Amino acid sequence: MDLYSGHINKLIDELAALPGIGNKSAQRLAFYIIGMSPARVKSLASSIVDARENVHYCACCQNLTDTELCPICEDAKRDHKTIMVVENPRDLAAYEKTGRYEGVYHVLHGAISPMLGIGPDDIRLKELMKRIAEEDIEEVIVATNSSLEGETTAMYISKLVKGAGVKVTRIASGVPVGGDLEYIDEVTLLRALEGRTEL
- Per-residue pLDDT reduced to its tens digit, 30-78: 999 999 999 999 999 999 999 999 999 999 999 999 999 999 999 999 9
Q: What fold, for 6-54? A: Helicase, Ruva Protein; domain 3 (1.10.8)
CA distance between the termini of the chain: 59
Task: Give the per-residue pLDDT at 95.
Answer: 92
Q: What fold, for 64-198? A: Dna Topoisomerase Vi A Subunit; Chain: A, domain 2 (3.40.1360)
In this structure, the number of other CB atoms found within 10 A of the CB of residue 162 comes to 14
What's the number of CA atoms in the CB half-sphere (13 Å) around residue 2?
9
Predicted model pTM: 0.79
d(CA 4, CA 147): 42
Task: Give the per-residue pLDDT at 1.
Answer: 46
Percent above pLDDT 90 for the chain: 74
d(CA 24, CA 27): 5
Cβ atoms of 163 and 146 closer than 8 Å: no
Per-residue pLDDT tens digits for 130-178: 999 999 999 999 999 888 898 899 999 999 999 888 999 998 766 666 6
* Residue boundaries of the structural domains of the chain: 6-54, 64-198
